[in-house]
Amino acid sequence: MRPPLISLRSATGGVVRTADGYADITVDRLDDLVRLLLLTGRQTLLGDPRFRTRTARAAHRAALAAEIARELSPMPTDECVGLLTAAGIRASACPPPLPPSRTPPLEPRPMTADISTDKRGPLAGVKIIELGGIGPGPFCGMLLADLGAEVIRVDRPAEAGRPNSMPVLHRNRRSITVDMKNPVGIEAIRALTDTADAVFEGFRPGVAERLGLGPDDLIARNPRLVYGRMTGWGQDGPLADQAGHDINYIALTGALHAIGPAETPVVPLNLVGDFGGGGMLLALGIVSAVISARATGRGQVVDTAMTDGSATLLAMMYGFMAQNLWTDRRASNLLDGGAPYYGVYRTADDKHMAIGPVEPQFYSNMLDVLGLTDDPDFAGQNDRAKWPVMKDRLSAVFATRTRDEWDKEFDGRNACVAPVLSLLEAPHHPHNAARGTYRTGAHGSPEPAPSPRFSGTPAAEPTVAPVVGAHTDQVLADAGLPADRIAALRAAGAVK
C-alpha cells in the first residue's frame, strides 16, 4: 500500500498523494485543519486528547495533518481539489514532489580531517544552507564559510546570472537559485537540508512556516538539523512582527543611548545590532548547536534577535552599573568619552588621534610625550573635577601637530595612543600589512581577511563571491538529483 502522506506542512499546507496524482494544499490557519476534518467525515477525531483543544492541536498539528492526508488520499485529484476549493481552502493539482533525501546517520562525525594537515579551516565537513537574506545573515554565512564550512546560499531566480551584489559578504559560497513560491522548489530546498548540518534564515516570524520551510518541517525530516533564525525583534514579543533596522533594535536595548557625546547619541554604523549582536551571535549559536547535535543526534532552533544580542554586548556596562561604577548618562563614564584620557582628539590637519591610557603607567607615558608630566591639572588621573580642564588642555596640545607627526612621536612609547585611520588607510598600516589583516579581493579592492586564526586548521584563501545561481545544477546533482529531474525543475521554473 503506497503511503498517502508526502508532506502536509503542519498548519501551512503541503503536498498530498491522491488516488491518481498529487494535490498542493495551502492552509492559512490551524483552524482550517479542523474544517478539513469535518469535510472528510473524521470529526470523531476531535475527541482524541491530541486534538480536543486548540492548544493540543497546535502541539500535535503534524499528527493532525497526517490523519487528514489519509482521508484525502483515496480521492481522485480533481475531486480532492474541488472539495477543498468549495470549502474556501486553496488547493491545486501539482507535479510529484522530489523524493526526500536519506537523513544522515546520527553517529558523531569528525569536524575535519587530520588536524595537523587540514588547511580548509576548523569547520571543514560542516554543511550549511543559507536561505538568502541581507545584512546579518550573509555576515553569519561569511564567517562560517571563512572558517571552512560548506555554505550553500539559496538566492531568488530573478537574480540568476547577475554579478554578485555583495562581493565580500557572499564570498566562499556556492549559489543556487530556487523559487520559494513553487511547491517543487520548496521540495528541492528540503532535499538540500536533509543532508545538512544547519540551515538559517532571516525572514520575519512565520514566513518560513508559511513557505513550508519552518523548523518543524525540516527537523522532522532531518532530526539532527540545526535551524538558525535571524531577526531584529526575535520570534516572539509585542514587536516580533514589526519592521525595523539595526538602529531601531539598538535604540530599544540602551546601546544607542550609551554611545556618543552628551548632547545626542551617535549612529555607530550598523556594527552593534546587525553584525556584533546579530550575525556574529548567530554564527556562534549555530556552531554551538552543531556541536550539541553531533553529541546527541538532536538538532534545535537557534533564535537570534538583534535586540538580545545588542543587550548581551552591554554586559560589562550593566555589571558596572550594579557596582555603581557607571552612570546612565552619556559621556560621563570611563569608556564612553567621559574620561579625558579615553577619547578622540582633533589634530592640526583635521584628522584625529585616539587615546586610551587607562592604566597609570600608560597614562604617565602619554603625559611624557605630550609634555604634560609636570602640569598640576593632570596629577590626579581620576579627579573628575579636573576632567573638563584636562579635556580642553589635551585638545589644545593635539591641535598643534598633524596626525602623522603625533603618530611618530608616540611610536614605541607604550602609551595606548593610535592614529584614527580611514577605511582606505587601514589596510596599508605596517601592523595590519604585517599580519595580513586585510587582503585584496577578486574585485580589486581591500577586504578583511578571515579571522580568527587557527594554528592547526588555518582557513583557506577565500573564493570569489559567485555569479548568482552559478552552482544550481551542481548543488542539486550533489544532493542526489538525476539530470532529468534537474531539467524538470528548470522546465517548471522552480530553479534557474
Out of 194, 197, 274, 407, the active site residue is: 274
Phi/psi at 244 (5° precision): 180, 170
28 tagged catalytic: no
461: exposed, middle or buried (C-beta count within 10 Å: 0-12, 13-18, 19+)? exposed
Percent of the chain with pLDDT over 70: 85
Out of 28, 245, 349, 383, the active site residue is: 245
241 tagged catalytic: no
Closest by CA position to 481, among listed 247, 188, 204 = 188
Q: What's the confidence (pLDDT) of residue 56?
A: 64
Contacts of 406 (CB under 8 A, 6+ apart): 347, 353, 398, 417, 419
Q: What's the confidence (pLDDT) of residue 109?
A: 38
Q: What's the confidence (pLDDT) of residue 13?
A: 61
Phi/psi at 215 (5° precision): -60, -35
CA 365, CA 381: separation in Å to the nearest integer?
13
Phi/psi at 79 (5° precision): -65, -40
What is residue 35's three-state secondary structure? helix
393 grid coordinates: 588642555
CA 160, CA 138: separation in Å to the nearest integer?
18
The count of other CB atoms within 10 Å of the CB of residue 13 is 24
Q: Quick check: pTM over 0.85?
A: no
For the segment 443-487, what is each residue's pLDDT rounded down to a tens digit? Answer: 889 999 999 999 999 999 999 999 999 999 999 999 999 999 999
The residue written with cell numbers 580642553 in the block is 392
The answer to whether 164 touches 466, Cβ cutoff 8 Å, is yes
Q: What's the confidence (pLDDT) of residue 62?
A: 65
Phi/psi at 386 (5° precision): -95, -10
Give me the residues of the chain with pLDDT under 50, please.
1-12, 100-117
Q: Quote the DSSP letter at residue 23.
A: E
Q: What's the confidence (pLDDT) of residue 29?
A: 63
Q: What's the confidence (pLDDT) of residue 81?
A: 82
Q: What's the confidence (pLDDT) of residue 49?
A: 72
Secondary structure tally for the chain: helices H, strands E: 18, 15
